[in-house]
Amino acid sequence: MTGKDPKPPADSEAPSGPAPLGGPEFVSLMAAVGPFEARPHVAIAVSGGADSLALCLLADGWARPRGGRVTALTVDHGLRPGSAAEALTAGRWLKARDVEHHVLRWRGPKPASGVQAAARAARYRLLGRWCREAGVLHLALAHHMGDQAETFLMRLGRGSGVDGLAAMSAIVEKPWARLIRPLLGVAKVRLEATLRVLGQDWIEDPSNRDPGFARTGARAALSGLAAAGLTADVLAETAGRMARARIALEDAAAALAATCCSVYPEGYARIDGPALAAAPAEVSLRVLGRVLASVGGGTHMPGREKLERLHDRLVGGGLGAGRTLGGCRVMGDAGGYLVCREDRDLPGPMAAVPGQRILWDGRFAIDFTGRADPGAGLRLAPLGRDGWTEIAARNPGAPMVPAAAGPSLPALFDGHGPVRVPHLNYRAAAGRPVGLEFASLRFAPPNTLSGTGFYLLN
């Protein structure tokens, strides 16, 4: 690639068929998923297929005149005999164009079932780790109009609501980087045309033709639906309309959450019952789901049907002794509801190491400092009911934390019991040397009550 913004050939050179992507159009697509820092460094997930290679070369031509650069990242899942060779081929192509490239390998045993979901999780885990360690703020993905239409169709088949039918967001904020999808409005044939103009070959992934994969079936269904006028661009446009509805509902839910919910650093929440019941059902349902995802440390809200049943009990006054959902226990509280992490399926005891930084229970970001006595047998574990009872008896002046929330708090134990519970300001009596301390401890769930927002390319 040259150091200029990518652009299609002059009219005299333009081939017949789909127009290649480039020039001001691609610059506008990148602006829509910005902003970017000065001298932007963008990571590109590159499989070696036409979509991701086109995105990588276009982004390279976009970044260079801005004093920036791109880095291509190829995840080798090790699921097919030829995957390693394909990753090396992509690397050679990119090296010839002076584009930095890294292969990230998914090592270890592979599941016997649910392979696609596991591979996707591994892919994002590897890409996320690289971005975090390299300090890269943006990871670009090459999902295009056809992918958006297929996603819409698959979710329609599952009976999804507005959120699911909005399909893929153009921007997703992650703790380690921003996922950006600048090509959601671009047809695949235009990306292939772009590579032909650039003289760049690409790899056809045989798994894209595997009938055992749901997306392959959706792709085949799209071919049949096109005859009835349900083309990829029509379905993608419908997904865009669903996205606008989703954005409006998310804004309303964020406003309601700000007025009816309180989240505490100990990892529990309170909901104003009358305010929740007075809101439109679709909005209050979202708020309830967000609270459960946040307090429970889940990556997604609970399933729609279960969430609706719990919501109906809350607004109908039939909660009774309480209910559980999404790793949370929901119970009545003065004027509303208390939502706490269930004291089951919590992390098991683990060694506490100086300098260690972990996300414990998917909810608490913890850093340790100091020097542990090797003989102290220090370990990090949930406080538990016994620990809560012991501390409540010994330390009646401890901060007021609901008894239902106490057992799920992170605590440092030695061989005799809890020695440090920061949320309760608890320190074991002298005579039990620790040497290790919580340098920092904060509630940092993957989902917040306001959400990260859904973004639509205009």
Are 223 and 256 members of one domain?
Answer: no
Are 209 and 72 members of one domain?
Answer: yes
Question: How many angstroms separate the first and last alpha carbons of the chain?
Answer: 28
* Number of domains within the chain: 3
Are 427 and 400 members of one domain?
Answer: yes
**Does the residue 453 lie in any domain?**
no
Are 247 and 189 members of one domain?
Answer: no
Are 213 and 273 members of one domain?
Answer: no
Please, which contacts does 94-100 make with residues 24 or more away whose CB atoms are closer than 8 Å? 94/46, 94/56, 97/1, 97/57, 97/60, 98/1, 99/1, 99/56, 99/57, 99/60, 99/70, 99/71, 99/72, 100/69, 100/70, 100/71, 100/72
**Does the residue 5 lie in any domain?**
no
**Does the residue 454 lie in any domain?**
no
**Does the residue 154 lie in any domain?**
yes
Tell me what pLDDT residue 296 has. Answer: 95
Are 192 and 104 members of one domain?
Answer: yes
pLDDT along the chain (458 residues), means of 10: 48 66 93 96 97 98 98 93 93 98 93 86 95 97 95 88 92 92 96 97 76 66 77 92 94 94 96 95 95 92 91 87 94 92 93 85 92 74 93 73 94 89 86 79 88 76
Are 106 and 149 members of one domain?
Answer: yes
Tell me what pLDDT residue 14 has. Answer: 47
* Total length of the chain: 458
- Point out the domain boundary residue: 309, 341, 373: 341
Q: Which residues contact 368 (CB under 8 A, 6 or more apart)?
A: 352, 353, 354, 355, 356, 436, 437, 438, 439
- Point out the domain boundary residue: 310, 341, 372: 341
Are 180 and 313 members of one domain?
Answer: no
Q: Vertex 360, ends 356 and 362: CA angle to 5°?
A: 135
Asked if the peptide bond before residue 399 counts as cis, ω within 30 degrees of 0, the response is no
Are 160 and 114 members of one domain?
Answer: yes
- For 405, the domain range is 350-443
Q: What is the CATH number of the domain that holds 265?
A: 1.20.59
User: What is the C-alpha to C-alpha distance for residues 9 and 19, in angstroms, rounded to an integer?
Assistant: 10
Are 69 and 206 members of one domain?
Answer: yes
- Point out the domain boundary residue: 341, 371, 394: 341
pTM: 0.81
Q: What is the CATH number of the domain that holds 128?
A: 3.40.50.620
**Does the residue 451 lie in any domain?**
no
**Does the residue 236 lie in any domain?**
no
Are 283 and 419 members of one domain?
Answer: no
**Does the residue 70 lie in any domain?**
yes
